[in-house]
Structure 1
Amino acid sequence: MKINENEITPKELFEDRRKFIKLGAASVVASSTLMELMAKENLPTPNLTYKKDINSEYLKLNSFEQITSYNNFYEFTTSKKDVKYMAHTLKPNPWAIEIDGLVEKPFTIDIKDLISSNSLEERIYRFRCVEGWSMVVPWVGFELAKFIKKCKPLSDAKYVKFETKYDEEMFPDQERGVFANIKNYPYVEGLRMDEAMNPLTILAVGLYGKTLENQNGAPIRLVVPWKYGFKSIKSIAKISFVKEQPLNTWQDIASNEYGFYANVNPKVDHPRWSQARERVLGKFLKQDTLMFNGYEKEVAYMYKGMDLRKNF
């Protein structure tokens, strides 16, 4: 008998065996009991069907509460802890994504159709913010490369440009004009084509088996695990294939502080934050930051011969 992914005991509960046994779970747990266990552990009720990540690196996941309660989303506020309380104005359904630029035929796709047409999988990734904090997140999504192939970009397309939705009712900071946190909306990010096609790069539609919370970038966001978090643009509404390198939002705001690549590099400090060490949410002591956030073997070849201090 095939077991539905949503009926499998969460890895976090299984690994905490004493707690698991104490709660009366032996080898099989009824669905209702499983839901009760998950509620006690503050885990969300899964609503996505996906392939689990085996977590070969044995990364320790941050809790659902931590991941959804400490977020940068300037379209709402600069307060990381207040975003979750302000993001209720974001309406992730209905939602459409426009595909244009250097493609055979521009089109628009509904988020539901996009999700149903792709096999979802879990990707447990390190997530590193340029501000010096980090977490480990069990994203659910699909490889961007697979979607790019369906978009049929032309040979002249060298970069992929992403834009967050522009809607002043959904995003209060967009209507603040000169008083806004970000002057030029919508939020823009970009990747070189080889970066976008790298197997690590995904479009995430959920985490911990549940569709994304608003504060985490619902209904769909980019995740590029070897780059600082601001590259992983949230609430994507437009993807364009272009010939020239796009000007990403933070590079536009402060080009002396933020470059196009934004690769995690412990040897290159931000003017305001050292990048040599990081604070994992929930931990007191800092840990050393890894080159390319620990994904050096998978991505370093793309930057061979580049001056990573100049091309930061």
Structure 2
Amino acid sequence: MLIKRSPNGIDLPFSSEITPREIYESRRKFMRQIAVGAVGGAALLEMAQREAFAQGGGAKLPGKLNPSYSTLEKQTPFKDATTYNNYYEFGTDKSEPAMYAGTLKTHPWTVSIEGEVKKPLTLDLDALLKLAPLEERVYRLRCVEGWSMVIPWVGYSFSELIKKVEPTGNAKYVEFVTLADKKQMPGVGSRVLQWPYTEGLRIDEANHPLALLTFGMYGEVLPNQNGAPVRMVLPWKYGFKSAKSIVKIRFVKDQPRTSWNLSAPNEYGFYSNVNPDVDHPRWSQASERRIGEDGFLSRKRKTLMFNGYADVAPLYAGMDLKRYY
């Protein structure tokens, strides 16, 4: 199917090597409190995510490796993956999310699932985590700006949630609505996008097993700047399609209006599949730079159609992918 991951496992950095000592020792103290039952499981997720927001690691969130959906490629260093981010709610510079996302409060957190479904639900984090067994999948992630990463994510196929809520025959699309709180997210006050940030998929895309409802990375809970506490990861699409910090999932009849498509429709189409043959109006998409490989002087590599995930090609059979970009 796809390619299998290296048997060497995940080489996690020590928190003391990537985090200021006072933060690291504070985390160690917190984990000792956990050991004696000072806080409960839900509080563990919240406090670990808040401690982890800048550069460090959080609470462990393991998942059983699914080798059918994991690449053998060298993984992006944890520090790079957590300090070079697009998350405009916390700033437009790549370094700003790691600097400012500590204001994000991830507990309590609920996600409502509504619209064209037989069983609408509102689930808290604990319920979402228990919905299906967690898996680890090492995915390539390609950004529309021309850079890429390889990250081990933890979650389960979004199709598990779809089965739970039983969409009606009218459900043709899925819309993802993310948190937009000016008190927690300084970037929400800007006019760079319409808030809240929304994204969408056709329902057959959302049902594809590669579409991952994600709670962690590198065997730990998601850091705030990477979309805590729950996000989507869609490895065959450009990164902005993978909505972060999701609060609402709507099953709808009509194609949802998505944030970047509203802001610049000539640059960001609804589908936004990785396609080296369709250039962004301001730059080529034929090659990419892998973050963590020799800095900005790293040699570019050829971009693959669907980011190398050819299994999704039948979803678009007969479509003109230059028109439906």
**TM-score band (shorter)?**
0.7 to 0.9
1:172 to 2:186 alignment = yes
1:217 to 2:231 alignment = no
1:300 to 2:313 alignment = yes
Q: Tell me the distance in 1 between the aligned counterparts of 2:98 and 2:58.
A: 18
Q: What amino acid is aligned across from residue 207 of structure 1 in structure 2?
A: M
Q: Tell me the distance in 2 between the aligned counterparts of 1:166 and 1:209.
A: 27
Q: What amino acid is aligned across from residue 255 of structure 2 in structure 1?
A: Q
Percent identity (aligned): 51
TM-score by length of 1: 0.84
1:100-127, Cα deviation, whole Å (9 max, x unpaired): 1101132210012110232100010000
- CA separation of 1:251 and 1:195: change in aligned 2, threshold 3 A: same
Q: Tell me the distance in 2 between the aligned counterparts of 1:57 and 1:239.
A: 29
1:64-123, Cα deviation, whole Å (9 max, x unpaired): 101101000001100111210100111111100011110113221001211023210001
1:181 to 2:179 alignment = no
Partner of 2:169 in structure 1?
Answer: 155
Partner of 2:115 in structure 1?
Answer: 101
Q: What amino acid is aligned across from residue 78 of structure 2 in structure 1?
A: F
Among 57, 65, 70, the alignment partner of 1:52 is 65
Counterparts of 1:1-312 in structure 2 under 5 Å?
11-13=9-11, 44=57, 47-54=60-67, 57-174=71-188, 176=189, 179-182=190-193, 184-283=194-293, 284-296=298-310, 298-312=311-325
Q: Tell me the distance in 1 between the aligned counterparts of 2:58 and 2:259.
A: 34
- CA drift of 1:57 comes to 3.9
Question: Is contact 2:71–2:140 with CA below 8 Å preserved after alignment?
Answer: no
Q: Tell me the distance in 2 between the aligned counterparts of 1:89 and 1:12.
A: 29
Structure 1 residue runs of 5 or longer lacking an equivalent are 1-8, 15-41
Q: Tell me the distance in 2 between the aligned counterparts of 1:43 and 1:169.
A: 24
Q: Tell me the distance in 2 between the aligned counterparts of 1:12 and 1:160.
A: 33
Pick which of 246-255 and 99-108 moved more.
99-108
Question: Is contact 1:123–1:140 with CA below 8 Å preserved after alignment?
Answer: yes
Aligned positions, number: 272
TM-score by length of 2: 0.80
Question: Is contact 1:98–1:238 with CA below 8 Å preserved after alignment?
Answer: yes
Structure 2 residue runs of 5 or longer lacking an equivalent are 1-6, 13-54
Q: What amino acid is aligned across from residue 48 of structure 1 in structure 2?
A: L
**How big is the alpha-carbon RMSD for the aligned residues of Structure 1 and Structure 2?**
1.8
1:163-185, Cα deviation, whole Å (9 max, x unpaired): 001222121222x2xx4322x21
Partner of 1:5 in structure 2?
Answer: none
Question: Is contact 2:103–2:185 with CA below 8 Å preserved after alignment?
Answer: yes
- CA separation of 1:73 and 1:302: change in aligned 2, threshold 3 A: same
- CA separation of 1:13 and 1:240: change in aligned 2, threshold 3 A: closer
